[in-house]
Amino acid sequence: MPRRRLMADGGSNPNTHSANLEADRQETRERVTADLGITREEIEELREIDPARRHDELIERGYYGYVDEETGYGLATDENGIPIMRPDGTVELDVDALESPADLVETDPLIALIGNSAKAKVLLAMLNSRPRNATDICRAAGISTSSWYATVRDELLASGLLVEVAESGTSTLYAIDDDDPRYEALQTLRRQSSKAFAENGWDIVRKEFLDRDRDDSA
């Protein structure tokens, strides 16, 4: 089930609860719209983009698979994956977005290309992420903490692509070194894979060709 942010008052008046919930969601709409920098002009631009390039653009702009970490809400989108904008200029929310970012990792074009090993999932989860501690990394990547401490952490640190950046309480925070040329190489591989899958009609979520009548014997 998707995460829900509990209301502070927990009052018994359902009208008050509904009003508070809507106010809370509106606050989230405004914050997400500002954080992503989505404008009506961008939405219209996305509608004009060639469908073969659109998925790539949605990933590039951070819209594809977006889930707000504070609330668990995603972006409501139309049939083309383009965010829906409300009359007030804020984006519509999908309150039934996938609960865990790990679900999004599993359906990412990079994972579809190279496979879903624990290290690949960690790298993908951390590509555009703020520094995270081990618990957050494992949750986002969908791996066990035992796998993280057994080999994944040490091998990625040894590679130099993952680095320790700070201490937060008793936890170490990790991040991808975005000055490493391999960081941009992974981003490029992800974008180009997304484009190729789209051009060839492959649905990375359903793991099938969009054209069900495709002649596999050709």
- Is residue 165 one of the residues assigned to a domain? yes
Domain extent, residue 59, equals: 15-94
pLDDT at 207 over 90: no
Tally of domains in the chain: 2
- Is residue 32 one of the residues assigned to a domain? yes
- Is residue 58 one of the residues assigned to a domain? yes
Q: Do residues 117 and 165 share a domain?
A: yes
pLDDT at 12 over 80: no
pLDDT of residue 2: 31
Q: How confident is the model at residue 212 (pLDDT cuts 50, 70, 90)?
A: low
- Is residue 194 one of the residues assigned to a domain? no
Q: Do residues 90 and 105 share a domain?
A: no
Q: Do residues 86 and 108 share a domain?
A: no
pLDDT at 215 over 80: no
- Is residue 54 one of the residues assigned to a domain? yes
Nearest to 126 by CA among 149, 152, 147: 152
Helix (H, G, I), strand (E, B) or coil at 27: helix
Q: Which residues contact 26 (CB under 8 A, 6 or more apart)?
A: 90
pLDDT at 16 over 60: no
- Is residue 6 one of the residues assigned to a domain? no
Q: Give the mean model confidence (pLDDT) for residues 119-134.
A: 88
Listed residues 48, 79, 94: the one ending a domain: 94
Q: Do residues 34 and 57 share a domain?
A: yes
Has this prediction a pTM greater than 0.75? no
- Is residue 57 one of the residues assigned to a domain? yes
pLDDT of residue 6: 30
Q: Do residues 106 and 60 share a domain?
A: no
pLDDT at 205 over 90: no
CATH assignment of the domain containing 152? 1.10.10.10
Poorest-confidence range of 24-38, 70-84, 177-191? 70-84
Q: Do residues 170 and 107 share a domain?
A: yes
Helices (H), the chain: 14-36, 40-48, 51-60, 101-106, 109-114, 118-126, 134-141, 145-147, 153-159, 181-199
pLDDT at 17 over 60: no
pLDDT at 4 over 50: no
pLDDT at 139 over 90: no
What tokens appear for 24 in the block?
Answer: 């809370």
Q: Do residues 85 and 35 share a domain?
A: yes
Q: Give the mean model confidence (pLDDT) for residues 128-151.
A: 88
Q: Do residues 145 and 128 share a domain?
A: yes
pLDDT per position as a tens digit, 167-179: 988 899 999 998 9
pLDDT per position as a tens digit, 87-112: 999 999 887 554 456 666 778 888 99
pLDDT of residue 120: 94
Q: Which residues contact 71 (CB under 8 A, 6 or more apart)?
A: 3, 5, 28
pLDDT of residue 11: 41
Q: Do residues 169 and 148 share a domain?
A: yes
What tokens appear for 11 in the block?
Answer: 């009052």
Write the single-letter amino acid at 200. Answer: N
Nearest to 113 by CA among 190, 184, 195: 190
What is the C-alpha separation between 176 and 131, in angstroms, rounded? 8
- Is residue 208 one of the residues assigned to a domain? no
Helix (H, G, I), strand (E, B) or coil at 94: strand
Q: Give the mean model confidence (pLDDT) for residues 133-159.
A: 92
Listed residues 94, 110, 131: the one ending a domain: 94
Q: Do residues 75 and 128 share a domain?
A: no
Give the residues across from 85 on adjacent strands.
91
